[in-house]
Every structure is written in structure tokens, then in C-alpha cells.
């Protein structure tokens, strides 16, 4: 596939457009959504991230259910159809504050709390939860499937040697690919994508897209 990098730009665009049109046509759809940052704590230490924060910068490790529902109701009133749950990956593995909050509130893990929060939003507001909970295992994907019509996780890159991913155990390519494969086997509608400009080469981008 690396021969794609040798094509003239115009031809590359034409080929890409032809593949797109053959698979999906030229209709663009969208779904208005409200963002719900369930937790900004994260076990990973990605060099480019501006979302994750340390506990000292946050009032609480996680949004409480009432805060979640307040955001969801506001989104519903504004005409949203989906609730997009964004969060760091497994912060309880890195931060005692996260582990303590989960224990105090009766949750085994962050993913278990996502399931509960998504269920509350679905039942109380009618918004469709979309869970971006990171690299998951089959049982976690199945648990979320019951309350979240779709899920997602950026594959980011298949280059396992990126400096930006040092100290980020959930960004190991095999770990990300396994999540995508399990989601496919479980017939879960799933979104993914690559990140551009984190130290990868153009060939890395082609590999990840393929």
C-alpha cells in the first residue's frame, strides 16, 4: 500500500473519492451531540494530550450522576440526539483518588461507572449514549452494548515506537487493534480514526488507515 504515497496528489484524491462514493455515496449525515467529560483523569501519559488533568486540578475525580444528567438534559433541550461520553483510560490504575472515588460510590472500575452513567442518560433523557471508553475487553464492550448504541476508540497509530506514547500502556497498537477486532466480532457499531502530527510518518498513516 505504500505505493499510494508515490501517486500525484490529484490522482490520490480521485481514488479516495471513488472508494468513498462506491461504499457510501456522497450524502453527509450528522448527529448533534452533547459532550459529557465523565473524568479527565487518565492512566496514560500521551505527549500531545490537552484533555487529561491531574487530580489537583480537578474539583472531583469524576462527574457525579446528577452532573451527568444536568449536562444531558441541557443537550436534549438544545436539540442534541446523542450524549458523547469522553474520559481518560482506566485512571484508577494510576491515581488513588480515582480508586477511592470508585470504591466509595460502589463501582469496580471506571468502565462500570460509564455503564451506569450511560444507562441513566438513556432512561432519563432519551439521548443515545456513545461511549469512548478506550481500549476495552470483550466483557466490557458487551456491558456497554446494553446501554450504548454505539462505541468508539481512536486507533491513533500502529507505530509502537512513537515518543508521544511513552508511558501510555493503553496506546500499544496490539491493544488497540484487539479492541477493534472484538467490537467487530460482537457486531458493535464502532467509530475509530488516526491521529496526525504526533510523530508518525506518512507511511505510518497509510498502515493505520488500511
136's CB contacts (< 8 A; 6+ apart) are 111, 144, 153, 179, 182
In 131-172, which ranges are continuous DSSP H helix? 138-145
In the chain, which ranges are continuous DSSP H helix? 9-24, 65-77, 96-104, 110-125, 138-145, 173-185, 202-209
* pLDDT the model gives residue 45: 95
- CA–CA gap between residue 190 and residue 199 (Å, rounded): 26
* pLDDT the model gives residue 5: 86
- CA–CA gap between residue 149 and residue 176 (Å, rounded): 20
Residue corresponding to grid cell 462514493: 21
Residues 42/89, Cβ–Cβ less than 8 Å: yes
- CA–CA gap between residue 4 and residue 70 (Å, rounded): 48
Tell me the pLDDT of the chain (210 aa) as tens digits.
Answer: 568 888 999 998 999 899 999 998 988 888 899 999 999 999 999 999 999 999 999 999 999 999 999 999 999 999 999 999 999 999 999 999 999 999 999 999 999 999 999 999 999 999 999 999 999 999 999 999 999 999 999 999 999 999 999 999 999 999 999 999 999 999 999 999 999 999 999 999 999 988
Domains defined along the chain, listed by start: 2-21+31-209 (3.20.20.70)
* pLDDT the model gives residue 131: 95
Amino acid at each position: 500500500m505504500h505505493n499510494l504515497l508515490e501517486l500525484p496528489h490529484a490522482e490520490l484524491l480521485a481514488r479516495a473519492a471513488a472508494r468513498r462514493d462506491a461504499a457510501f455515496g456522497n450524502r453527509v449525515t450528522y448527529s448533534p451531540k452533547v459532550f459529557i467529560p465523565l473524568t479527565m483523569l487518565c492512566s496514560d501519559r500521551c505527549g500531545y494530550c490537552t484533555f487529561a488533568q491531574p487530580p489537583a486540578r480537578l474539583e472531583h475525580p469524576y462527574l457525579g450522576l446528577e452532573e451527568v444528567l444536568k449536562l444531558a438534559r441541557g443537550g436534549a433541550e438544545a436539540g442534541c440526539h446523542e450524549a458523547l461520553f469522553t474520559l481518560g483510560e482506566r485512571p484508577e490504575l494510576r491515581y488513588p483518588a480515582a480508586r477511592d472515588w470508585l470504591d466509595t460510590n460502589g463501582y469496580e472500575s471506571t468502565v462500570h461507572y460509564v455503564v451506569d452513567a450511560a444507562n441513566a442518560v438513556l432512561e432519563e433523557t432519551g439521548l443515545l449514549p456513545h461511549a469512548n471508553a478506550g481500549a476495552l475487553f470483550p466483557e466490557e464492550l458487551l456491558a456497554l452494548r446494553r446501554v450504548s448504541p454505539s462505541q468508539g476508540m481512536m486507533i491513533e497509530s500502529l507505530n509502537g515506537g512513537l515518543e508521544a506514547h511513552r508511558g501510555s500502556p493503553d496506546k500499544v497498537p496490539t491493544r488497540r487493534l484487539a479492541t477493534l477486532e472484538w467490537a467487530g466480532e460482537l457486531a458493535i457499531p464502532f467509530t475509530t480514526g488516526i491521529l496526525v502530527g504526533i510523530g508518525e510518518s506518512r507511511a505510518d498513516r497509510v498502515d493505520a488507515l488500511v
